[in-house]
Amino acid sequence: MAAQAEVVDALYNLRLSIRASATPILTTSAEPTPADTVTDLALATHVSFNTDDGAHRNFALATPTRFAPDNKPVDLRSCYFAWLNKDASVTDYFAAVQTLNEELPSGAGGSVQNLTFAQKIELIAWLSGETESSDSIAAVDGAALSAAAGDAAAIAGGKGVPVDRNVKNVGGGKMVDARLLQIYDGERRMGDHNSVLRGTKNVDFSPYRKIASTFLRSRPTDPKAPVPQSLVSNLQKRPPKRLEPIILLSPSASSLLRTSNAKPFLSDGVFTPPNTTDSTSTSSAVNMLRIQRQMNSISSTPMTFILVDSTSSFKPTYWSRVVAIFTTGQMWQFKSYKYTTPAELFSHYPGVFVGWSNEEPPETVKMLGRGVLPVGVDKWTGTEKGRWRDREVVERIWGRIEEGMRKGGWTRDGPGLAGQQGR
């Protein structure tokens, strides 16, 4: 049932389309023809997904999806628009939402919901296949989706829901819609567990309990005999959610390592100042990055790290995923952190200061204590050639991070219990 239910689920079809690199087709009709195809999301009312079996699955862009942060379903248009702007900064994404909402009233109508930073990251990770489950995405309900698909088809075809406007007096001066009474007549009355299971007389279930006990509690005496499978299928169990470690960069403008140059430095071991043309042209206005790193003592496969320079969208649970904090020693950086005093902060998280190799770390960094690792890179000479010492500095930083993750009990799926309690 779950597989059939997923076929008629709008969010699942969007995920399939993204993972297959098949661009959805925007249309202005529930049963589109080539003439109904548009490229402007402000004019489109429906979206069509092409499947491998040659079928075309059409959905209204106003369809509520299973993505419901704070128990408020987000429509398909907002989810698709968030994916189209997955690489945009928070500021650019907010501006794009405002622009589209101004265009929609004169086109397809409706509005696009502005997702928060955390909501957008969670949705994009699920759509791209990086995660197999999400706390904000409800499980597929076959019966509910089938009913929803039928209602959507009726509404898209212009039939709507038939309503009888005649009203009837049911006594006590109350007037009730005749259509509502007809619905009540078709309802099935539900009983309690005694009436459903036993009916009008008691039923002895002891033989069935004996049969069930052979599956639930018995163990084979022969060690070579096969072990009975559990009655609950493994397919019904949600796969564990893999948590990605987080590295906090300093938001200070005086920091040598910012979002504009952190990725080539930590990934490739090449440092370029954040104010150079090469570093700012590719990463301007980006406040979140993803990089991969092999941690041999923790996982046999590369781990994905999230780099951010702000905690404004942090949930309390995110702090258990922080594995390093880059700092310049300025106290205002820690005001929004879980621990505002440096001594307590860097007793839980490894700290890193990046300065010039021919300069001593400032006194503000030295006062932070042994919890902060000071490293120095060579002065920038205008070219990336001859910067072989950068790789040595990067390896020292990753060594400090990996050591802290081992102490926190990290595995490839996330922090250990000891690491979560300590933070």
> Do 150 and 251 lie in a common domain?
no
68 within some domain: yes
Domain boundary among the residues 156, 183, 203 is at 156
pLDDT for residue 151? 47
> Do 142 and 257 lie in a common domain?
no
Q: Categorize the per-residue pLDDT at 149 as very low, low, confident or very high, splitting at 50, 70 and 90.
A: very low
73 within some domain: yes
Q: What is the mean pLDDT of the chain?
A: 79
> Do 136 and 253 lie in a common domain?
no
Q: What is the CATH number of the domain that holds 306?
A: 3.40.50.11990
Domain boundary among the residues 113, 130, 156 is at 156
11 within some domain: yes
pLDDT for residue 417? 60
241 within some domain: no
- Digit-coded pLDDT (tens) for 342-351: 999 999 999 9
Average pLDDT over residues 149-170: 45
Cα–Cα distance measured from residue 58 to residue 13, given in angstroms and rounded to the nearest whole number: 10
- Digit-coded pLDDT (tens) for 305-357: 999 998 988 888 899 999 999 999 999 999 999 999 999 999 999 999 999 99
78 within some domain: yes
Say how many C-beta atoms besides its own lie within 10 A of residue 317's C-beta.
10
Question: Does 154 have pLDDT greater than 50?
Answer: no
> Do 16 and 130 lie in a common domain?
yes
Domain with 100 in it = 2-156
Domain boundary among the residues 156, 187, 220 is at 156
Most confident of 210-214, 320-324, 382-386: 320-324
> Do 142 and 260 lie in a common domain?
no
> Do 254 and 146 lie in a common domain?
no
Higher pLDDT, 171 or 348: 348
> Do 252 and 359 lie in a common domain?
yes
Domain count, the chain: 2
Question: Does 416 have pLDDT greater than 90?
Answer: no
> Do 262 and 405 lie in a common domain?
yes
188 within some domain: no
> Do 147 and 257 lie in a common domain?
no
398 within some domain: yes
- CA 389 to the chain's CA centroid: 37
105 within some domain: yes
Q: Is the dihedral of CA 100, 102, 106, 110 positive or negative?
A: positive
Question: Does 198 have pLDDT greater than 70?
Answer: no
